[in-house]
């Protein structure tokens, strides 16, 4: 009798430890993904800054620079896309700004991402200043389209 | 002794209810407040865009997206609203309303049948508009195409009829009905900006924090605070210059007009995206006036 109880206890402890570890690993995984996507978004922000400065005339137009900024945006948006697994929203206990709507309207989120990536692609092909503003309208509109629905205000 | 207490309590309830009913009764404006007025449709459109009517009275999927036929969800911490049809349709919109009924709704939060509206409809800000601007706004709405709607769901709020009456008490404390006052020591454009911000633009509804009875706390005018719709914060619009949020009035004007399209990163989330889209439709002089006013706040 005594022995069984001990084994049971050990088993329970082991089980609890496993669950706890899984929880930690899970939270760790979540934390990693959240950090990674935020870094990706910061890189996207860096790219748009260069394009906006050119549009405002604070920086001379250089097609190669625009192209490289646009590709930075594209690559990092593509990178961020899969870094929004369910359970990593603003209610996850880890500070971030991903709204629950991302998972309530998965199609909408995917479409917003696709639109922005297409706009970045289009921006990469801009060869002269006259084409910059229309392309920026589309690209910036892509950021806004997603942020207004799927990103929460700062905490 | 015990019986006395019961009687006293019952008496208090009766008196309390009577006082409550008296204090919470709707007090609409009378027809004599309406000025003699020649309608200016262009000004009506400016008020419509500044007022952001379409953001809340958003049509449901399939209806003309540019007309405020309502029916879309508006989530608030107290419950879900379905802002009604405010197109000129006589049966399901406000086509049959008199000017006075419209002014009472917009500036006193009272419906044609004498009920209180919930302040999710920001009449608390529209109350500061000039009545002539409200009349132009109505004329503009009436000039748009009528849309007939089928649904008449207005809210999912628990005990809404009782709360509606209770709103009357809240209004006693929290509804400031003073029309915006021109400050002669400041330029005309500054005043125009301040007027648009406090009235039609209803910027205070989000950017000014609330006191314990949920009224706007003007001792912290536009100083930012918890988001009224629940999560996260609304940034302060004070000290924009000192905090280097914007370099000058022109920079802020361009943020208001273009928002995230020109890389202004903090102009999209938490409802600001819709506000900015509406601001982008205003004449440039008006967004510049708003920028001038905001930039002057220390």
Per-residue confidence band for B6, with pLDDT thresholds at 50, 70 and 90:
low
Instruction: For residue range A71-83, list pLDDT tens digits in order.
Output: 999 999 999 999 9
Mean pLDDT computed over B111-133: 95
Per-residue confidence band for A23, with pLDDT thresholds at 50, 70 and 90:
very low
Is A99 within 8 Å of A89 (Cβ atoms)?
yes
Q: What are phi and psi of A100, to 5 degrees?
A: -55, -25
Closest by CA position to B179, among listed B242, B239, B251, B103: B103
Count chain A–chain B contacts defined by CB atoms under 8 A: 61
| DSSP summary character for residue B14 | H
What's the CA gap between B141 and A116, in Å, rounded? 35
Token pair of A84 as six digits: 């929004």
Most confident range (mean pLDDT) of A23-37, A130-144, B13-27 is: A130-144
Per-residue confidence band for B82, with pLDDT thresholds at 50, 70 and 90:
very high
- Supply the pLDDT for residue A119: 98
What's the CA gap between A60 and B209, in Å, rounded? 43
Distance of CA B173 to the CA centre of its chain: 17
- CB neighbours of A153 closer than 8 A, spacing ≥ 6? A97, B227, B231, B232, B233, B234, B235, B269, B270, B272
Q: Which of the pair, A60 or B26, is modelled with greater confidence?
A: A60
Inter-chain touch B269–A45, beta carbons under 8 Å? no
Question: Which positions in chain A touch B233 (Cβ < 8 Å)?
Answer: 153-155
What's the CA gap between A145 and A113, in Å, rounded? 9
What's the CA gap between B25 and A21, in Å, rounded? 61
Closest by CA position to B187, among listed B295, B69, B68, B47: B295
- Domain B188-295 annotated CATH 3.30.70: no
Ranges of each domain in chain A? 6-150
Inter-chain touch B261–A144, beta carbons under 8 Å? yes
Write out the residue limits of the CATH 1.10.760 domain(s) in chain B. Answer: 188-295
Name the residue among A56, A148, A154 with its Cβ closest to that of B273.
A148
Token pair of A52 as six digits: 């906006």
- Supply the pLDDT for residue A1: 45
- CB neighbours of A148 closer than 8 A, spacing ≥ 6? B268, B269, B272, B273, B274
- CB neighbours of B281 closer than 8 A, spacing ≥ 6? B49
Token pair of B120 as six digits: 């999710």
Name the residue among A56, A141, A155 with its Cβ closest to that of B232.
A155
- Domain A6-150 annotated CATH 1.10.10.10: no
Closest by CA position to B287, among listed B245, B247, B259: B259
Inter-chain touch B262–A154, beta carbons under 8 Å? no
3-state secondary structure at position B79 = strand
Instruction: For residue range B247-273, list pLDDT tens digits in order.
Output: 999 999 999 999 999 999 999 999 999
β B79-81/B74-76 pair status:
antiparallel
Percentage, residues of chain A above pLDDT 70: 82
Instruction: For residue range A95-137, list pLDDT tens digits in order.
Output: 999 999 999 999 999 999 999 999 999 999 999 999 999 999 9
Residue of B nearest to A49 (CA): B263
Q: What are phi and psi of B226, to 5 degrees?
A: -60, 145
Distance of CA B73 to the CA centre of its chain: 17
3-state secondary structure at position B40 = coil
- Supply the pLDDT for residue B133: 98
């Amino acid at each position: 009798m005594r022995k069984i109880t001990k084994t049971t206890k050990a088993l329970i402890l082991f089980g609890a430890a496993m669950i706890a570890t899984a929880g930690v690993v899970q939270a760790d995984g979540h934390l990693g993904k959240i950090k990674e996507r935020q870094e990706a978004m910061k890189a996207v922000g860096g790219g748009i800054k260069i394009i906006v400065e050119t549009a405002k005339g604070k920086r001379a137009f250089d097609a190669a620079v625009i192209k490289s900024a646009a590709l930075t945006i594209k690559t990092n948006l593509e990178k961020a896309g899969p870094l929004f697994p369910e359970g990593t929203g603003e209610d996850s206990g880890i500070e971030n700004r991903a709204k629950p709507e991302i998972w309530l309207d998965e199609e909408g989120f995917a479409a917003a991402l696709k639109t922005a990536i297409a706009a970045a692609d289009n921006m990469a092909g801009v060869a002269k200043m006259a084409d910059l503003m229309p392309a920026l309208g589309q690209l910036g509109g892509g950021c806004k389209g997603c942020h207004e629905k799927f990103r929460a205000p700062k905490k | 002794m015990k019986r006395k207490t019961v009687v006293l309590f019952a008496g208090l309830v009766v008196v309390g209810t009577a006082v409550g009913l008296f204090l919470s009764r709707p007090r609409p404006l009378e027809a004599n407040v309406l000025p003699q007025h020649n309608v200016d449709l262009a000004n009506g459109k400016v008020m419509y865009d500044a007022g952001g009517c379409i953001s809340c009275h958003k049509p449901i999927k399939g209806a003309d997206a540019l007309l405020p036929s309502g029916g879309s969800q508006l989530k608030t911490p107290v419950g879900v609203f379905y802002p009604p049809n405010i197109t000129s349709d006589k049966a399901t919109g406000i086509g049959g309303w008199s000017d006075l009924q419209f002014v009472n709704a917009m500036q006193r939060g009272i419906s044609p049948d004498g009920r209180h509206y919930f302040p999710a409809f920001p009449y608390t800000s529209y109350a500061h508009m000039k009545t002539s601007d409200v009349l132009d706004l109505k004329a503009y709405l009436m000039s748009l195409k009528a849309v007939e709607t089928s649904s008449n769901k207005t809210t999912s709020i628990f005990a809404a009829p009782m709360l509606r009456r209770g709103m009357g008490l809240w209004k006693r404390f929290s509804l400031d009905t003073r029309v915006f006052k021109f400050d002669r020591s400041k330029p005309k454009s500054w005043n125009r900006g301040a007027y648009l911000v406090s009235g039609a633009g209803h910027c205070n509804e989000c950017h000014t924090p609330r006191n314990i009875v949920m009224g706007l706390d003007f001792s912290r005018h536009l100083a930012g605070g918890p988001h009224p719709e629940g999560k996260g914060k609304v940034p302060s619009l004070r000290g924009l210059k000192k905090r280097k949020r914007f370099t000058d009035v022109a920079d802020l004007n361009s943020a208001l007009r273009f928002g995230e399209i020109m890389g202004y990163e903090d102009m999209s989330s938490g409802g600001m995206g819709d506000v900015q889209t509406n601001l982008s439709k205003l004449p440039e002089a008006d967004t510049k006036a708003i920028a001038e006013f905001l930039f002057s706040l220390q």
